[in-house]
Amino acid sequence: MSDTFPSYPEIPAIANLYPGPQALLGRRIHWTEKRDGSNLRIALVDDAVRVASRHQDEASEQFLQYYLSTPQAPRVEELLRWHSGNANSPAGDFNIQPVVFGELLIGETTRGGITVRGHKSPARFEWYDRNEFVIFDIWDGQAARFLPYSALYQYCYHFALPVVECWGLSQHSTLEDLYHWRDEMLDMARARGREGVVLKAFDGPRHIYAKEKLDSPKIPRVSMDTGAPVLPCLPDSEVWGAINKVHVDLGEAFRDKAQAMPRIAAFVAEEQRKHLCGKPGRSLFAYYQEYLEEESQ
């Protein structure tokens, strides 16, 4: 991970935390909404604003233009320059050399000179009618860590930038209580039409992040008849999310199946490993075609 332009870490489910979910016991946990969008990171590099996708250090031209069309883009640049770490920055002692991480919510696209408003989110959990950028984290380059939620909120507030909502603050002495609270947070996600929830424990020397999603499969059982694990199909939302990541990386070149399909297969295979799932319920090409059809509407 680059010191000047870090990528976002992979976040496990509570059950997959190292050395175990008990690592969260006794910690103060912020529970924030998980928005369903396209992950972008933005920083000042050589005094120029640089926009990257999750897997590439340069966002495709298409998604760069989507980002620049949001009302948040100039405010993000203002935040970056104010807290850039430059000796001439007016922020003075508040310089943090920030990298901004957020979800690009795409609700308006233009194709062939025709503007289309209203789009489903990548994993089909939300519906957007405008382009917006919602911040979920800011990397503090000076301290080499992410800002705690209260500081994140304050930094965004002063630049009129939207930030993911925090739904609760908790501390637990037992795993039973932790999972009970987790279930309540997922009920809130379901009621508000969100993909799930992200947990962040900032107290202590080691920051702990975890996530829980509404469509996360149960831990699979092992068939004693064959000795092989019986894995559930990878949820559609994970397939759509993987396809969207490829779209973000390739931009207009996404419509070339020779370029898109190998990347989609690689990203879906990665999601299968992460979620202990088998193949999706349909062929990847069928998902790809459906995605293209919706993009063309």
Torsion of Cα atoms, 18 then 20 then 22 then 26, to 10°: 10
* Of 25-29, 213-217, 244-248, 285-289, the least confident: 213-217
Strands (E), the chain: 29-34, 38-45, 48-53, 99-105, 108-111, 114-117, 119-120, 127-128, 132-140, 145-146, 166-170, 196-201, 208-213
Contacts of 192 (CB under 8 A, 6+ apart): 33
Nearest Cα neighbor of 109 from 53, 66, 70, 59 is 66
Name the packing angle between helices 236-250 and 257-275 (round to 10°): 140
Q: What angle do CA 30, 125, 214 make, to 5 degrees?
A: 55
More confident residue, 235 or 4: 235
pLDDT band at 220 (very low <50, low <70, confident <90, very high): very low
> 204: Cβ–Cβ under 8 A, 6 or more apart, which residues?
27
User: What's the rounded Cα separation, in Å, for the pair 92 and 181?
Assistant: 41
Q: Give the CA radius of gyration of the chain.
A: 20
Q: What is the pLDDT of residues 16-27, one digit of tens each?
A: 898 889 999 999
Whole-structure pTM over 0.85, yes or no? no
Residues 6+ apart with CB under 8 A from 144: 3
Residue 283: CA count within 13 A, CB half-sphere = 4
Coil, strand, or helix at residue 279? coil
| Cβ neighbours of 279 (radius 10 Å) | 14
pLDDT in tens, 117-157: 888 888 888 899 999 999 999 999 988 899 999 999 999 99
